Structure 1
């Protein structure tokens, strides 16, 4: 009755959403399955004896008439493997399990008709159904899945390959004869990808083979790669660490040339031929592009040493290295230079250079001073030698002229006191119209022609005196001093001191701008 109701409900379930139907079906199946108690899944290994338990939990109001065990493989039809009726002996129909299956315990109990399978095989895996024939409910059943486990044989290895431009298999990992199928993954920094193939066996086991493929290069040689196998029979994944094996021709590099091989150099003049290859290089050979190797060259294995640098070393050296895969080479061109300064004398040379620079700076400064002074002297000479030379009076000339008193030891024209030096001047032609009546000759002592010493002494007037000289008013000039008759009288010394004229003249005389020489201590009247 209950089964009939369930079938009718399932027939009308199409009118409801799929999720609702599945949920209701699961609840109905759970409610029905509660009467027949079985294990949902049983694990076993080949050769073992497996027990499949089954029991009817509540027989109230129900009469059990018969129990049947049914085997349903993954592929194929259902097969009855064991049948028990209280009125008859247990029956074991023809099946792959016949002779290995039996009720346990024996004789069986209709309320708990469990079975056992001896020497279980991989092909025994599948669905096992314990079905009761009852009255008045009809058939009640419980389902157990028998899962056969086979621990696989795992292994991994690398494949030796040559560097090239084509993708090849560089590593292989296998998980053979496992149940269920294993899962293989790769862990590496290499640039490649894996290809996995699953191969089922006749005994229902599965073999998994995974190959790692890539385009191998010389840099990939020795690179880490690991194969990781996961299987249900293992408590943790099994890892196989490996290193890639890539063969390649020698890669050669010459070291030691510092681009400073000068004539006569004897120290640190060595070239080293470094080579890397797989398999290891077997031969190393040095050559010179110019032909024969120079006599000053010594070769030992991978090193080339120059005993003394000369013109013959000015060539290109080639290093060739061979292994089973091929040939690799490198070359370096040597340029022989002129001898350089000995580094031990670097301090002396630096000192000499610095001293020379300082000396040049000092000479340049001295020349600049001399040139500047010479130009100033030439400018002063041109000023003194011009046709517009004037004689001016320094001192209290203006004040004395206005007072009209004789304040000195001598009497000047107009009663003026003139204690300052007197300078003669010549009016230029441009002033003839204005000062025609005041043209005077310069007052000089000694020769009227100026000497070189006079010219130099005349330049000793500083800028302040010259500005003062130019700022004098017109009435301070010599041509406006007296207004009277002749020129002022210059008294160089007392009449009773003529015997000391010689010594006195050298120490006391002073050259003037117009070329004349006067005394520093003379009395002017």
Structure 2
């Protein structure tokens, strides 16, 4: 790139000396431990960014350092700017370092920059600046309208302005998909590229409202910086289920069945039928609802609901079994009877235990009384019985003493 310049005293002479010194330098051996040998490093920067070029020497002999551009135009000589370009600024200048910045970098700024020190001989070092072309936001095309379940959709993603060529990646929500290999086209007006990628999907109902994304992968960008999304609509036949008002339809009561259909688009019509017969006279159809004003056991049977959304129709079924109106009370009576029976058994067991305990106590009390009157039955008269009852044992002892 050509920079506008203006004359600076002595700079033209220094530039000529630079070229002369560069040619002379090839005749000398430069050692790595040369303290006056300038050292630089390559830089990579994106279009629109700022690059810093730094040139250092280990020691100073009061010789000036100089930066030149790819066209060998002097940019800075020491602290003096040689070109009238406000993008180029002095960053630091000391006896051992010269650093400059170049802002708003363009693709034309790419190339090899030279740092020189005007010693005898003149020593130089080069730094290559690589400029990355920033890719544009990807554009997704090819989707025009909703796709029927089982159909295919082909999407095309395009991104321009990258250097080197970007890579395009496809995603469905967070899942990465595999598209066709990228097609890379060079741009005629600048050294950048246009990248094109295609993705073909066979869609199902789970893809309805899914986000298909195309993201640009490039060294100049952080992951996810440039990404475009395309929502997909899938048309599919409805799923049908029949939901009863309650699990216990009772004879004589009101009851209804709700036909629930999920499809895309939403169902536009519902048809109710009774399998192997006609709908009961007191059954009324209200769109997706079948109402029974007064249930009768003759209403028992299998009921069918057919939902149609224009893509297709699907049928669901429900078996109605009308219960006796006393079913709940009978069930409750049975529960109470069971509880009453258990209580009666417990009471009976307690009564039996009381009877056994009473008989046991009475028996022990009779035995005690019998021992108190022992011997009275064998007495010849009342007085002897009393004597035997009160002190029979003493009499025996007296008799023993008498014989002794």
Q: State the TM-score, normalizing by the size of structure 2.
A: 0.52
* 1:286 to 2:272 alignment: yes
Give the aligned partner of residue 256 of structure 2. 270
Matching residue within 127, 132, 145 for 2:111: 127
Give the aligned partner of residue 251 of structure 1. 239
Deviation at 1:308, TM superposition (A): 2.9
Matching residue within 334, 341, 344 for 2:319: 334
Q: Is the 8 A contact 1:257 1:271 kept in 2?
A: yes
Q: Secondary structure at the match of 1:150?
A: coil
Bigger Rg, structure 1 or 2: 1
Q: Is the 8 A contact 2:132 2:220 kept in 1?
A: no
Q: Is the 8 A contact 2:162 2:194 kept in 1?
A: yes
**Aligned ranges 1:68-107 → 2 under 5 Å:** 81-82=71-72, 104=83
Q: Which has the higher contact order (CA 8 A, sep 6+)?
A: 2
Give the aligned partner of residue 37 of structure 2. 35
Give the aligned partner of residue 153 of structure 1. 137
Residues 226 and 45 (structure 1), Cα distance of their counterparts in 2 relative to 1, 3 Å cut = closer
Deviation at 1:285, TM superposition (A): 2.7
Q: How far, CA to CA, are the matches of 1:229 and 1:311 in structure 2?
A: 68
Residues 230 and 338 (structure 1), Cα distance of their counterparts in 2 relative to 1, 3 Å cut = closer
Q: Secondary structure at the match of 2:206?
A: helix
Aligned residues: 299
Q: Secondary structure at the match of 1:144?
A: strand
Give the aligned partner of residue 387 of structure 2. none
RMSD, matched Cα: 5.6
Q: Secondary structure at the match of 1:344?
A: helix
Q: Is the 8 A contact 2:243 2:260 kept in 1?
A: yes
Matching residue within 175, 192, 208 for 1:205: 192
Unaligned segments of structure 2, at least 5 residues: 1-23, 75-80, 86-96, 345-404
Q: Secondary structure at the match of 2:182?
A: strand
Q: How far, CA to CA, are the matches of 1:157 and 1:334 in structure 2?
A: 50
Matching residue within 305, 318, 321 for 1:319: 305
Deviation at 1:172, TM superposition (A): 6.7
Matching residue within 217, 223, 229 for 2:204: 217
Give the aligned partner of residue 363 of structure 2. none
Q: Is the 8 A contact 1:193 1:212 kept in 2?
A: yes
Deviations 1:395-452 (A, max 9, x none): xxxxxxxxxxxxxxxxxxxxxxxxxxxxxxxxxxxxxxxxxxxxxxxxxxxxxxxxxx
Q: How far, CA to CA, are the matches of 1:31 and 1:129 in structure 2?
A: 23
Q: Is the 8 A contact 1:184 1:230 kept in 2?
A: yes
| More strand per residue | 2
Residues 236 and 144 (structure 1), Cα distance of their counterparts in 2 relative to 1, 3 Å cut = same
Q: Is the 8 A contact 1:191 1:214 kept in 2?
A: no
Q: Is the 8 A contact 1:254 1:330 kept in 2?
A: no
Q: Secondary structure at the match of 2:131?
A: strand
Q: State the TM-score, normalizing by the size of structure 1.
A: 0.42
Q: Is the 8 A contact 1:49 1:118 kept in 2?
A: yes
Q: Secondary structure at the match of 1:343?
A: helix
Q: Is the 8 A contact 2:266 2:309 kept in 1?
A: yes
Q: Is the 8 A contact 2:44 2:130 kept in 1?
A: yes
Q: Secondary structure at the match of 2:329?
A: helix
Residues 258 and 55 (structure 1), Cα distance of their counterparts in 2 relative to 1, 3 Å cut = closer
Q: Is the 8 A contact 1:284 1:302 kept in 2?
A: yes
**Aligned ranges 1:449-468 → 2 under 5 Å:** none
Q: Secondary structure at the match of 2:235?
A: strand
**Aligned ranges 1:100-115 → 2 under 5 Å:** 104=83
Q: How far, CA to CA, are the matches of 2:120 and 2:209 in structure 1?
A: 75
**Aligned ranges 1:226-245 → 2 under 5 Å:** 229=216, 237-238=224-225, 244-245=232-233
Q: Is the 8 A contact 1:41 1:146 kept in 2?
A: yes
Q: Is the 8 A contact 1:153 1:177 kept in 2?
A: no
Deviation at 1:331, TM superposition (A): 2.6
Deviations 1:290-349 (A, max 9, x none): 46433221111211112233466344433222334x123223253556736331344445
Deviations 1:156-185 (A, max 9, x none): 69956535446645x776544244555555
Deviates more, 1:295-304 or 1:200-209: 200-209
Q: How far, CA to CA, are the matches of 1:50 and 1:349 in structure 2?
A: 92
